[in-house]
Amino acid sequence: MSDRPRARRPHKKSRAGCRNCKQRRVKCDELKPICGNCTRFSISCDFSPHLAGSDQSEDVSSNAPIRRKRGRPRKDWSAITRDPALHGEDEVGEGSGTTGSSPDLLLTKASTTSPQLTVDELELLHHYLTDPNLSQGDKLMWQVKVPRLAFTHHYALHLILAVSAFHLMRLEPDRVEHFRRLADTHHFIGIRQVTELFPRLSIENCSPLYVAATLACACGFAKGPTPGNLLVVAEGCEVPWLDLLRGVRLIIENIGLEHVFTGVLAPFPPPQPKEPIKTDEYQVEFVPWEEHLQKLSTLVSAAPASTHEVYNKTYESLSQAFHETYGTSIAPKSEIIGQPQIIIAWIYRLDEVFVGFIREKQPPALIILAYFAILLSTLEYFWFLEGWANHICLGITDSLGSSYKHWLQWPKEQIENSLKSRKKIDRSLEY
């Protein structure tokens, strides 16, 4: 062997990483608007367009943070990138009655202490307030009351802007990357702040958290189906919004909607949307489901004994959702329109063990999910749910062995029929 020293392989260094990665001395993937490391640890990234030109660097230097070793951020990492307008200090403290004049908006800060919307954000807000597709069937609730609530609880405002940006991505393909950047930025910060607040859930803050969790779930759907995404799991992991959807359940069951619909959101129960302006929604035809779900019960019964309790509970919940949506063959519903409070509720009631079965791609769990996709297809009058039912069925087809694929024939047929046979109906909205 030669004694000549081995030449070191040259490597390209970049000094373009974000400030957080530089301080932690870890490699930054330089993804924008938020790098991978900042996304992983839910900390603010200075790649965000809203941070450009901000006074964050002044805050960092003035606080003279202690030198850190490389590795995972500590729990107090936000102290290193301290900016009250970005980290939601007032919002996080609201559960204990803390108030403050400098809200958590990441929205651009002016020379005064009051945060201001950028022109891009004003465009998003205008679109949210004026496009009837963003009313979710109730303009008074979602385009009047909810924005008023969001002006006080800015994590909800971030999610309003994210929903608007995701919708504009569909309407303006020439600006899709522009709106994607805005959507991802506002979605990320809204989710982070809501997640921080949920452990402090109380009667006092349940209204904005309920609204924000609902908007966050809409954003999760609005991102659109991606390969490997089976609604509640994606590439072997739970989807991020599932915990927030469970938070909605926690509010409904432990606190009660009567406490949600108070203040700006009052009265309870919420009034029905009024006329005269009408919008197109969709009615679907009756699906004779009883016989097919009875056959599904035989598959559930054949599952390992240790899984019976979870499978039976999930199956019974699915049967109830079919009954409430379609009625029965003897007494079918006269007007069949999918109801989120029935169908989405099936998702947030899922046992975590059953979600694990889906993650493990157990055939009975995947087939139950395919049957649920029929119900989900009745909700595709919501723009952010379009295409999800068919995507789920196709994804499950790819995951199942050939001996189980005959179970998917009926769900596929019903989803296809639902898409073909939809009849537009008028549903009233107040304008």
DSSP characters over 164-215: HHHHHHHH-GGGHHHHHHHHHHHHHHHHHHHHHHGGG--TTTHHHHHHHHHH
Residues 255, 307 within the same domain: no
**E strands along 221-338, which residues?**
233-234, 237-238, 278-283
Q: Are residues 249 and 306 both part of a single domain? A: no
Domain span at residue 212 reads 121-265
Q: What is the pLDDT of residue 92?
A: 43
The CATH number of the domain holding residue 52 is 4.10.240.10
Domain end position, chosen among 212, 230, 265: 265
Q: Which of 230, 265, 300 is the last residue of a domain?
A: 265
Residue 304 lies in a domain: yes
109: phi then psi, degrees, rounded to nearest 5:
-90, 135
* Statement to judge: residues 314 and 392 lie in one domain: yes
Sequential pLDDT tens for the chain (431 residues): 555 555 555 555 567 788 888 877 778 877 776 777 776 655 667 766 544 443 333 333 334 444 444 554 444 433 333 333 333 434 444 433 333 333 344 454 433 345 578 999 999 999 999 999 999 888 999 999 999 999 999 999 999 999 999 999 999 999 999 999 999 999 999 999 999 999 999 999 999 999 999 999 999 999 988 888 998 998 777 787 888 899 899 999 999 999 999 999 999 877 776 543 333 456 788 999 999 999 999 999 999 999 999 999 999 999 999 999 999 999 999 888 899 999 999 999 999 999 999 999 999 999 999 999 999 999 998 999 999 999 999 999 999 989 999 999 999 999 998 877 665 444 433 32
Residues 297 and 399 in one domain: yes
Answer whether residue 75 is part of any domain: no
Q: Judge if 232 and 147 occupy the same domain.
A: yes
Residue 195 lies in a domain: yes
Q: Are residues 305 and 384 in the same domain?
A: yes
Q: Are residues 138 and 36 in the same domain?
A: no
Task: Report CA 418 to chain centroid distance, whole Å.
Answer: 25
Task: Tell me, yes or no, whether 293 and 235 share the same domain.
Answer: no
Q: Concatenated DSSP letters for 116-140?
A: ---HHHHHHHHHHHH-GGGSTT-HI
Are residues 282 and 424 both part of a single domain? Answer: yes
Answer yes or no: is 177 within a domain: yes
The total number of structural domains in the chain stands at 3
Q: Which residues of 318-350 are buried (b: 16+ CB within 10 A; e: fewer)?
A: bbebbebbbeeeeeeeeebbbeeebbbbbbbbb
Q: Tell me, yes or no, whether 182 and 213 share the same domain.
A: yes
255 and 316 assigned to the same domain? no
| 146 domain-assigned | yes
Determine, yes or no, domain membership for 293: yes
Residue 246 lies in a domain: yes
What is the phi/psi pair of residue 300, to 5°? -65, -40
End residue of a domain, out of 243, 265, 287: 265
Residue 388 lies in a domain: yes
Residues 151 and 125 in one domain: yes
- Give the Cα-Cα-Cα angle 235, 359, 184 (nearest 5 degrees): 40
